[in-house]
Each structure stands twice: as C-alpha cells, then as structure tokens.
Structure 1
C-alpha cells in the first residue's frame, strides 16, 4: 500500500501535466493541422484562453490590429479561428451562397424574415414621429441647461455622451417597447427590471448594465462553454457582468409586460407592434419569449451604438476646422428658418436636405461599425486574395479596424475629412461596411441612418458647440465606446 501511495504521489502530477499538454497539442497536430502554416501569437494556436484573456483586458481590436501589421493579412487568433485583413474576404465570408453561415444561429433565417419586414423602408418611415418627439424633449432639456447656466460665457457645460445616451435609450424604448424610458425627462439613467413577468420590479441604471453586459459577453463569447461557471470566478468582472446580462433581459421583460398588458392605439406602428403582427412562413407569430428576446436585441443594437457614434461624430466634427460651418450652411440653406417649430425643422432635415456632410461624416470612423469582427462565420472552404483555405477554419472573421486604413490610408484614424466620401474607389466602397454585409447585415440600418441624420442635424443647426477636452478616451467592450465628452453649448444666433 505504501508503494502504491508513493507511486501515485510521484506520478500523478506528471500524468496530469502530460494529459493537459495532450489536450491542447493534439488538436494542433491533428484536428487543425491544415492551419499550422498560419502565423499566430503563442499560445493562440493551442488554446482559446489567449484570446479570452486579451478580451478580458479590453484590447482585442488593438491587439489583433497589431498582429496583422506584424504577421500579415491572415492571422490565427484561436486554434480554429482565423482573422482576415483583406477586403475581398468581406464577400467571401459574409456574402450570399458562399457556404459560410453564422455560428450558433439556427433560428436566424426564420426570425430574419419576420424582423426584416419590420425594418423595411416603408415601416421605418412610420417610426419617424417617435424619433421627433424625443428630439423635441432633448432640445428642451438642452435649452433649459443653457438658460440656467451661470457660466461667464453663458454656455452650458455638460457631458454630451450622457445626453446622447438618454436620447437614444428613450428613442429605442419608444420604438421597441411603446414608451420612452424617461431618461430625458429625468436627466438620469434608470430603468425598471423584472426577473420574470410576475416578479416585483427593481430599478437599475440601464446604460451601465448595457456596458457591463457588452464587456462580459465579448469576453465569454470567445469560450462560451465557460458561461455556466463564470459566476464562480474570483474576478468580479465576470459575476457583475453576468448579473448585468440578467438585468438587461429583465429590462426587456418589464417593458414587454407593460406593453402587452396596456395595449396602445391600433394606429401606432412601432417596432414591437410590427413584431407582434409578424408571421413566419408557416403563419406562426413570435411567442412572448421570442418577442422579449427580439425587443432586447433592438435595445442592445439601437442604443449604445447610436449614442457612441453621435458622441464620436460631434468630437471629430467640432475639432476639425471648417466642418461645422459647412454643415450649418448646408442645413440653413435647405431648411426654412423655423426655429420656433422644431418638428418642422427636423422633418425638413430628414426628408428634404439630406446634406452630404451629415450623411457621410456620420460614418467616417471605424468606431461607427457595430463590431462586425465579433461575428465569425463557419464554412468548409474559401479563397481570398490573401490566401486559400482547404478545408477552411470553422470560424473566420475580417478585422475591420485593420482593413479600413489599408484602403483609405493611415491618416484616416487621425484625420476627419468628410470630403473623402465624394470620390471613393470601388475597393474603398467595398472595404467600409459599418452595418456588416450580406444576408446577415444589420436589419436596423434604415432606422440607424435616419436617427443619426436627425440627431446631428438637430444639434448642429441649433447650437454652437465647443470642446472642453483635447482628446476623447475610449474603452473596448462589445463596442469601442467613448468614456465621455465634456462640451460647452450655446444657442446659435
């Protein structure tokens, strides 16, 4: 017995070490041997943990960008996941009929047929009044801040990211759930949360919840098998993040409950009503859980993305000489001087003027992209200018942060120049896809573009804006988002 104990104590650690090495080395040598030629940072070719830890530190985009600069257009970032820095890869990975399909989305096709009708051009035109009503309140609140200002220059000093967040959350609340969250009216970040339709409500900061949820989802998405156990990790990033995931779902549960129990007038046509009316190919409607899930998706997709882009757009437009005067001149020329009638002003801006500076400058930064390289596709094989895969890796994505500067020049990350969009080459048009591409592109593009145009036209025509900080710090989660932007605001004369 003593001999057995001795052998176990001597060989057990070594056996565990050998087993662990075999667990990671065998896939590299056998299962994914066809990918061995692709350069990778050690130990990404052996384990998913490398990318997970990069995401946890909040440096995925920056890290992969540096890898492409160092290792070339094809980089292996997980044992079976390849990042492509090649604009041709956009059609190969995301286009129709190429053998690629989005991972983990078996129900995607059925639901998209319902959801895509919700976001048709005709439907989106019916959403415009709800955006207007929230913009009216947005303007009233900013005007009130200016009128109450005690600053020597008469300007209101504020963090515009907060107010863009309040605006976009109220807009998407109005569209997706039938009523705003009330953030604009209260000037605060707060929303009702329910763990189930029948549970008592609690109240929590929705913007903070959304940000935490994005960060933990971006990290655990690298290794989703960890999700059931992540709440037990000693790092509070995971436990707090998973609680945020539950709370965000609880916001959707509370809002759908309120909408279904208090039906709105039949003539109201918002996103949720379109989803309620939608039918799949069998004539079946979405169930309550599906309605809640789709409404939650609209909340995630239509709030932080728009507020972050609005904040970044304001920063780059205001700090770049000549951009704001040109934009204001185009708006003034296209819109009658109806300062006392905000609704008329906004309607004219959206339907009549569509100024080129407004349209193009809203999408001139990679930050406007909804992180498309977070959505890998799986396939059997593919060919791009960069390389040929036979067989292909199970997951492939194109890294927009690296592709775009290659086609527009290195200065596009530091130089805000809306005029670049007036003379694009075919490859530049191909390389820039802030709403992704192909059958799984963002269905909410029409709403997002309309909302962005209305927002920028509103503040640019009504106010004089100056920056109170020289740079804009950002943080990576599911998106790369600004951390805030202090500005001064006065009414135009």
Structure 2
C-alpha cells in the first residue's frame, strides 16, 4: 500500500511538473506580450528557446535560418520573443546609432574574467570602453602594427617554401607538420591549420607582445594559466604562475560553440544546462581560453617594454575621468582582441584560399594584378607592404566577395527593442521584443547581389550600384557595436592575401567537395585541402 502511495505521489508530482512547464511556455504565447505570435517559424520556436538552442548546438544555425527565410520570407520567429528580419534595410534600423536598442542576454554567455567591449550590455559602460579602445584601431595606429604582420607572413612563406621544395621531391610530411604529401610537383596539405598558426601568431604578437610560436613549431599550442587568480598577481619574488599548454584553436572553437548555444537559452535554464556533459566541457574551454589571456598578460606586464602593440596602447588608454584600465579589465580586453583577431583572420584567409582555388580564372586575374603591382618574379621581400596593395581594385573585390559568401559572423546578432518600439521592414515591434538581422541571408539577397547571389564572383563589385551593395554588406556589423578592429582586419587581409597569392598557386585536392563549415558564434571552415606550388621558380 505504501509503495502504491509513493508511486501515486511521484506520478502526481511528475504531472504537476509537466503541467507547470507547459503553462510557463503556453501562457506567454497566449498573452503574446510582444505582438509576434502571427510570425511564421518552427512550431517549437513559438513556445520555447529550446529549438534555437538545439540548432545552435549542431553548428549550422545560419544555414538553417536561411532556409526558413527562403520558405517564409522576410520575417521568421526563432524563439518566443525573437524575430529574424532578413532585409538589408533592417541593418541600419536594428543596429543604428541612437535607436536605444540594447544587446540581448545572449551576450551574457560570452563573459569570462569580466565584461569586455564585446559582451558588455550597458550603453554607458560600452561608451566608456569604446572611448579607450577605439583610438587604438585608428588607421594611423594600425599602420604601426604593419611590421609585425609582415614578419609573420615571412615566417609562413619560409615554411611553405620549405614544404614546396620537399613536395617537388615527392616526400611526405610528419604528423607534427600537419600531414602533407608531395605529388605532381606540388605539396598537398590542409591549409586551415596554417592560417590558424599565422593568425594566432600575429594577434599574440600584437595583443601580448610575443607570438605563440605556432608557425615555428608547426603546432597548435598556447600557454594557459592554471590559476587565474595566481597569474593576476604576477611574477612576484621570481616565482612564475603555474602554466599548462593546450591547443588554442581547439579551445577557441569549443568556447565559441558553447557560448553561442548557451546564449540562446533563457538565463534561468543556463545553470541546469551547465550540468550536461557537453556544456561542462564547453565551460572548461571558456576557462582555458581566459587562461591564455591571463598567462600572456601576466608575462608581458612582468617585463615592461617600450614596444608598440595593442597591449601597450590599452595600457595608455584612459576614460573621461582620466582612469586607466585595471588589471582584470586590461586582461579581459586583451582576451577580446585575441578572439576577434585570430578567428576572423584565419577563417577569412582560408575561405579566400578555397574560393580562389575553386575558381582558376579569378585566381589568374588576381595574380596578374599582383604581378603588375609587386613584380612578376621571385625577387624582393615576400611580404608585401600595405602601400603596395591598398589600392588594388581586384584584390579588394576578391576579399569583399569572400567576406560576403563566407560570412565569418553569419548569425543575426540579437538586439532588444527599446522603449517606444521600432518600425522595421514596415512592421512595428514593441518594447522588449528581440530582433536580429541574419548576415548570412542578407549577403544572399538577390535584389542586392543579383540572381547569382550564391556564387563567388568578384566582378559583381564593379557591375552593381555601390550604394546598393554596401547597404547589404555587413561583415563587421553596423552602428556603435560594430567591429572596432575593422582597420586592422582590412590591413591584415590585404597584406596576407596579396603576399601569398603573389607567391603561390593553389588548386583544390577535391574540386567536387563543398567548403564545409561549423558554426559557433562564427562560421569556421572544417578543412581546406589544397595543392600548392611556387609561381616564380
């Protein structure tokens, strides 16, 4: 009898719990406080954030949302209070200066150490941080970083020249060098790890005063502070904080997938989600990535230098009250630069390499322009200067087209509608609704880009109205929250692609294979296997 009563009580409790969960999700749909019940979208998304969380965790959110927009049109409901608006004109409305919209609680999932420029949601705090940081990325200051960028390009060229020489002999590489093979006068390899090594060494040099040494070691490895607190105290009494080494690229990828998936869940779900093994591993990646910045900043500050780089300029920066950044804030901002400066450069460089290898005509046309600007032979510095490549129209078109087709940040960044509401794409959205504009989809808008918007074709940048194209081009976001490092990113890509495509010719190992990606916060290539040979022997 007692056993029956216990079973009955458990059954009743389970039914009550299920009823409560159903009511929590059904009542908001019935009340429809944001007036978005009529918008189309997945059935589950009308009632719960679980649908978007599931999609985000599987690594193809932008593509899934794009297919929904192809099916339903401009507006798609992604969550109970979240509408995706696929309209180029919506970019300047949702993300504009002065419209009062705030970042959604999605960004809370990206906080480690403390809030930085990227993930702070306070308008006042963001304005304070941006005042300190933005001048660092002025064109004048960015040009001071050019020698560091070019030095690491030379290091990459030295490695690839060595592999090309070995490849012509038909040799095979070791596992530590990424597994290359020589065949048909080329060296065949996955170029993605090499772009990661280059990008991490550049940003390590700029943000922390020393590269991670990945190009030299041909390996993905970075020092991580075991105890953040101990490392923050520095290298006192000659004792260095305890350090371990982890694969930084892998850590960064895991952190992006974890935070992007956690961020779409309601805040009250997140403590429960962290108990799931996949999320536990992701949270470990968050701590390790922060540990990379903590270890690097601690080491740099222990040995003061007059060197000009991002960290030195962050140290010089002051807010309106004349106050510099404290140690935790300085480290958090350095971490922001590490994440933003490594991922975007490596992903974009890899995507450009793929599309040029897949389109021999485009590659040949670009190389003819580079030969005119840099010379048609092997002599001279293998690292081009910014002055040499900054006004090459076809190079700029190739880079822009790759940033369009491979949107490094393809998801719609969520914003909360401010008091008074917003009219977007002819529809009124009340205060508190969450809106986003999906870059991946806007970059494929046929009205802006033409009927062949899915095709990589740099010539469109010369054929179509520039204002129309720029209105629908959003690789660095828009408004007060746009990418503060845009000038540095442009300088890096122009010099990197100009230098490497002048020196090497690329072909795809498997021309019939699609360019696979996996998305966390950013869309990242999975691999890019190419054959490389020197152009000027």
Q: With structure 2 as the length reference, what TM-score do the two structures score?
A: 0.86
Please list, as runs of the form range in 1=range in 2, the aligned pairs for 1:295-310 lying within 5 A after superposition.
295-310=334-349
Deviations along 1:88-125, whole A, 9 cap, x unmatched?
Answer: 11111011111212235112221111111111111101
Residue correspondence of structure 1 range 123-272 to structure 2 within 5 A:
123-149=141-167, 150-151=169-170, 152-194=183-225, 195-196=227-228, 197=231, 199-223=241-265, 224-233=267-276, 236-264=277-305, 266=306, 268-272=307-311
Per-residue deviation, 1:7: 7.4
Displacement after TM superposition at 1:338 (Å): 7.3
In the alignment, what sits opposite 2:424?
384
1:108 pairs, out of 121, 126, 134, with 126
* Residue equivalent to 2:118: none
Structure 2 CA distance, aligned partners of 1:39 and 1:111?
A: 38
Name the SS of the counterpart of 1:280 in structure 2: coil
In the aligned structure 2, how far is the partner of 1:112 from the partner of 1:341?
40
Distance 2:34 2:415 in 1: 20
Name the count of aligned residue pairs: 485
Mean Cα deviation higher: 224-233 or 246-255: 224-233
- Taking a change above 3 Å as real, the CA distance of residues 34 and 137 of structure 1, as seen in their structure-2 partners, is same
* Aligned residue in 2 for 1:463: 504
Which 5+ residue runs of structure 1 have no aligned equivalent? none
| Counterpart residue number, 2:75 | 74
Preserved contact between residue 347 and residue 408 of structure 2 (Cα < 8 Å): no
Aligned residue among 489, 495, 498 for 1:454: 495
Q: How far apart, in 1, do the equivalents of 2:62 and 2:189 lie? A: 30
Does 2:336 match 1:318?
no
Structure 2 residue runs without a partner (length 5+): 106-120, 171-182, 234-240
Counterpart of 1:457 in 2: which secondary structure? helix
Q: Give the alignment of 1:87-106 within 5 angstroms.
A: 87-103=88-104, 105-106=121-122
- For residues 251 and 12 of structure 1, what CA distance do their matches in structure 2 show? 46
Match of 2:391 among 350, 354, 369: 354
C-alpha distance in structure 2 between counterparts of 1:450 and 1:176, whole Å = 16
| Cα distance between partner residues in 2 of 1:33 and 1:241 | 32
Summarize the Cα distance change of 1:22–1:328 in structure 2 as closer, same or farther, 3 Å threshold: same
What does 1:414-429 correspond to in 2, within 5 Å?
415-425=455-465, 426-429=467-470
8 Å contact from structure 2 (residues 410, 440) kept in 1: no
* Partner Cα separation in structure 2 for residue 111 and residue 392 of structure 1: 26
1:321-340 matches, within 5 Å, as: 321-336=360-375, 339-340=378-379
- CA distance in 2: counterparts of 1:130 and 1:356, whole angstroms: 25
Secondary structure at 1:374 match in 2 = coil
- 1:346–1:454 contact (8 Å) kept in structure 2: yes
Change (3 A) 1:306 1:225: farther
Task: Report whether the alignment pairs 1:486 with 2:532.
Answer: no
| CA distance in 2: counterparts of 1:63 and 1:283, whole angstroms | 47
1:405-434 deviation digits (Å, cap 9, x = unpaired): 222135322x22111111333333201111
Aligned residue for 1:490, secondary structure, equals strand
DSSP 3-state at the match of 2:202: helix
Tell me the secondary structure at the aligned position of residue 443 of structure 1: coil
Q: Is the 8 A contact 1:84 1:399 kept in 2?
A: yes
- Distance in 1, Cα, partners of 2:47 & 2:28: 8
| Alpha-carbon distance in structure 2 between the residues aligned to 1:353 and 1:278 | 28
Partner of 1:56: 57
For 2:85 and 2:299, locate their aligned partners in 1 and report how far apart those are by CA, in whole Å: 45
2:179 is matched with none
**Structure 1 residues 33 and 479, CA gap change in structure 2 (3 angstroms):** closer
Instruction: Measure the CA separation in 1 of the matches of 2:435 and 2:407.
Output: 22
Q: Give the conservation status (yes or no) of the 8 Å contact 1:146–1:155.
A: yes
Shift of 1:377: 4.1
What is the aligned counterpart of 1:412 among 453, 463, 468?
Answer: 453
Work out whether residues 207 and 338 of structure 2, in 8 Å CA contact, stay in contact via their aligned partners in 1: yes
8 A contact 2:145–2:206 mirrored in 1: yes
Alpha-carbon distance, 1:274 to partner: 0.8
* Partner in structure 2 of residue 44 of structure 1: 45
Secondary structure of 1:95's aligned partner: coil
User: How far is the alpha carbon of 1:33 from its aligned partner?
Assistant: 5.5
2:441 and 2:93 mapped to 1: Cα distance?
Answer: 17
CA RMSD of aligned residues (A): 2.2
Give the corresponding residue for 2:35.
34
Q: 2: distance between equivalents of 1:279 and 1:6?
A: 65
Q: Is 1:86 equivalent to 2:87 in the alignment?
A: yes
> Which stretch of the first structure deviates more once superposed, 403-412 or 268-277?
403-412
2:475 pairs, out of 434, 439, 462, with 434
- Deviation of 1:336 after TM superposition, in Å, equals 4.2
* CA deviation string 1:264-299 (max 9, x = no partner): 2x2x22111110100011111111111111111111
Deviations 1:451-487 (A, max 9, x none): 0111111111111222212222222222221111111
